[in-house]
A and B are shown apart, each in its own frame.
Chain A
Amino acid sequence: MIKKLFAPLCAALLLLGMLAGCAGKQETSGELVLYTWEGMFPQEVLDGFTERTGTKIVYSNFDYDETMLEKLTAANGGDYDVVIADDYIIEQAVRSGLVAALDKSAIPNFGNINPLYQGQFYDPDDAYTVPYGAGIPLIVYDPAATGFEITRYEDLWNPALRDAVAITANYRVINGITLLSMGESMNTEDLDVIAQAGEKLLDLAPNIRLSQDDNTQDALLNGEASAAFLYTSQVTQVLAADPSLEVVYPAEGLGFGIMAAFVPVNAPNASAAHAFLNYLLEPEVSKACFEWLGYYNTNGAADDIVDPQLVVPASVTSGEIIQNVSEAANDAYNRNWTAFKAACGQ
């Protein structure tokens, strides 16, 4: 009976929704061209902005950061009102003079931003950007299997974890956490320090069970590893599969990637753009966005209401983004990585 009713009910609900959509439409006052990857916003967040301001949102998307920069350059910083992209490409856009300084008086919620994600290399004075989500590789472990509490990167070196650690396979990230564990910067270009990190990595080798970028989290679930260093999406997946696992926000500091929003220098509708950024910084809106996206919440004012899994504890105060380094330093990082991998197989 219920089954029979289900389909017509769904259809009726859909129809109602469509009617409501028609009825709710207001007179539009201009439009806002939003330029970012596909699938960055839940539809109700976009609709909410249109409902409140009457500004229609035109969602335009790109596949790669580089495409965005090309188009924005071709448009001479026009055509688009709000752009959301990755940290490193924003640095290039700012340097090319394509990004407008924000009018913070038009963004009263600017103070909501979690300072952890501010002052980064792409915008050291927080003049141009509003962060929109962070990806943070973290340690996840099975307390029953490790037999001790993990609180920092350094704990991965513990001999008790012999042949029991799974890690991602990005050479800069793994060099980076080694440097963080030594109290150094992830982006150091000091060849002596990099060589020291290489030595230290060799000590980690006996603990490595596997190192790969795809499905690394499976190693925790199928019993191959008892601790793992994982990307954000993998952390989310593995915790959903086995809630008894523990997440660690390493005490030495985080390495992360940030997506941020900016207003191009010749944005056709800059006032709407500022209103939109202010809207995104409302706690309820942030909650809807980040829970839907699965990236870490960058809006400090929303920390209490967002899914706790997407909130970095207040105890964590430092974080760094991996940037391009000099050729010599990059070669040294590469060499460390190859030596490390070879040592893992011994």
Chain B
Amino acid sequence: MKRGRIWLCAAPLYAFTLVFVLGPALYLVALSFAQNTAGTGFCWAFTLENFARMRDPIYLKCFRESFRLALSTTVLNVLLGYPFGYFMGRLGARGKRLLTFLIMAPFWTSSLIRLYGWIILLQVKGVFNRVLLWLGVVDEPLKILYSYPAVLIGMVYALLPFMILAVYTSVEKLDWTLVEAARDLGASRVKAFCTVTLRLTLPGLMSGVVLTFVPSMGLFFIADILGGNKIVLVGSLIQDQMTRGGNQPFAAALALVLAAMTTLMLWLYRRLTGTSELEGVV
């Protein structure tokens, strides 16, 4: 009786997961093996052609571009986010509260609106160029918008908070007496940082890496808006095939491969850190 009641309590959650997670996922897998037909339709005839088509250099390039962008975004986020999170963790209680607030505040507005803000800053007749011209750094306005650097700026901007907060949580939990002990035993500042601080905050850093790398594989609207649709990522390819291109089975196959790649990333993370949880944020 008791057991039955517990089961009843969990039933809605099970139902939700079945209907909204497992169902669509199975549909996606099935669709990726379906046959595309003219127009926007498809038929349920088994084919491997959707996967075979990905071997086309054009589509392989999309995967490569996505990987490259995700990697550069993650590296930049580590370089910027780790020191930020580290020093934030060393601040007093008021400073921590203030910085957390400042990091979270932009999330109160739509990310799309914030990206349009970047357009205003970066465009030829924009703020950034006007300052450069005024300072005499350049004679002609730079064409920054609709280029790879613009996309990279947008990606780093969008994902940096996740890195900072992950590192910060780790640093905050750090037992500073261990660092002091290392110093007492004769380690230099650098050595103490490398052997103690970095080691102990590594889980935070790694979860920051996962939290920036995995989403940046799929974040395509930044490349569309700040890159003028010129950097073709797997995400934008999927969207193109799903909507205008009208090849839903191919879109499903691409989505499946992308999901497999990110799953591989998560598996690597578990192997490297020996944990199954993302420190700090999740």
A-B interface pairs (CB < 8 A), number: 82
A331 to B245, CA, bound (A): 8
Does B228 contact A211, Cβ atoms closer than 8 Å?
yes
A325's nearest neighbour on chain B, judged by CB, is B38
A334 to B53, CA, bound (A): 12
1/0 contact string of B219-252 vs chain A (CB within 8 Å) = 0000011011111100001001100111100000
Residues of A within 8 A of B141 (CB): 223
Asked if B197 is at the interface (CB within 8 A of a chain A CB), the reply is: no
Does B240 contact A224, Cβ atoms closer than 8 Å?
no
Does A170 contact B244, Cβ atoms closer than 8 Å?
yes
For chain B, the count of residues having a C-beta within 8 Å of the partner chain is 34
Does A327 contact B36, Cβ atoms closer than 8 Å?
yes
Residues of A within 8 A of B36 (CB): 327, 331
Q: Contacts A209-B146, A338-B62 hold; do A222 and B229 have CB atoms under 8 A apart? A: no
Q: A interface, how many residues as a size bin?
A: 20 to 34
Partner of B241, one of A222, A334, A339: A334
Residues of A within 8 A of B246 (CB): 330
Does A345 contact B123, Cβ atoms closer than 8 Å?
no
Asked if B37 is at the interface (CB within 8 A of a chain A CB), the reply is: yes
A345 to B62, CA, bound (A): 11
A344 to B124, CA, bound (A): 19
Does B229 contact A163, Cβ atoms closer than 8 Å?
no
Q: Among the interface residues B126, B230, B244, which one has the most CB atoms of the partner chain A within 10 A?
A: B230
Asked if A212 is at the interface (CB within 8 A of a chain B CB), the reply is: yes
Does B229 contact A169, Cβ atoms closer than 8 Å?
yes
B121 to chain A, nearest CB (A): 12
B175 to chain A, nearest CB (A): 47
B120's nearest neighbour on chain A, judged by CB, is A222
Asked if B65 is at the interface (CB within 8 A of a chain A CB), the reply is: yes
Does B124 contact A222, Cβ atoms closer than 8 Å?
yes
A209 to B230, CA, bound (A): 8
Asked if A210 is at the interface (CB within 8 A of a chain B CB), the reply is: yes
A336's nearest neighbour on chain B, judged by CB, is B58
Beyond the given pairs A324-B39, A342-B65, 4 more chain A to chain B contacts, judged by CB atoms under 8 angstroms and listed by A's residue number, are A169-B229, A171-B244, A171-B245, A211-B230
Asked if A152 is at the interface (CB within 8 A of a chain B CB), the reply is: no
Q: Which residues in chain B, 50-66, are within 8 Å of chain A measured between CB atoms?
A: 56, 58-59, 61-62, 65
Does A211 contact B65, Cβ atoms closer than 8 Å?
no
A108 to chain B, nearest CB (A): 39
Asked if A96 is at the interface (CB within 8 A of a chain B CB), the reply is: no
Asked if B125 is at the interface (CB within 8 A of a chain A CB), the reply is: yes
User: What would be 26 A-B contacts, judged by CB atoms less than 8 Å apart?
Assistant: A163-B143, A169-B229, A170-B244, A209-B143, A210-B146, A211-B228, A211-B229, A222-B125, A223-B123, A223-B125, A224-B123, A224-B145, A324-B38, A325-B38, A326-B38, A327-B38, A330-B38, A330-B247, A334-B240, A334-B241, A335-B56, A338-B59, A342-B62, A342-B65, A342-B232, A345-B232
Asked if B148 is at the interface (CB within 8 A of a chain A CB), the reply is: yes
Q: Contacts A342-B58, A342-B65 hold; do A331 and B247 have CB atoms under 8 A apart? A: yes
Asked if A337 is at the interface (CB within 8 A of a chain B CB), the reply is: yes
Asked if A32 is at the interface (CB within 8 A of a chain B CB), the reply is: no
A212 to B226, CA, bound (A): 11
Q: Which residues in chain A, 212-245, are within 8 Å of chain B measured between CB atoms?
A: 212, 222-224
Asked if A208 is at the interface (CB within 8 A of a chain B CB), the reply is: yes
A222 to B126, CA, bound (A): 8
A211 to B228, CA, bound (A): 5
A329's nearest neighbour on chain B, judged by CB, is B38
B182 to chain A, nearest CB (A): 47
Residues of B within 8 A of A325 (CB): 38
A342 to B146, CA, bound (A): 13
A344 to B227, CA, bound (A): 10
Asked if A200 is at the interface (CB within 8 A of a chain B CB), the reply is: no
Partner of A210, one of B38, B125, B228, B241: B228
A169 to B62, CA, bound (A): 18
Does B58 contact A335, Cβ atoms closer than 8 Å?
yes
Does B123 contact A222, Cβ atoms closer than 8 Å?
yes
Partner of B228, one of A171, A212, A324: A212
Does B61 contact A341, Cβ atoms closer than 8 Å?
no
Residues of B within 8 A of A170 (CB): 244
Residues of B within 8 A of A330 (CB): 38, 245-247
Does B148 contact A345, Cβ atoms closer than 8 Å?
yes
A154 to B273, CA, bound (A): 57
Listed from nearest, the 9 A-B pairs whose CB atoms lie closest are A210-B228, A344-B230, A345-B230, A223-B124, A327-B38, A345-B231, A211-B229, A342-B232, A210-B146
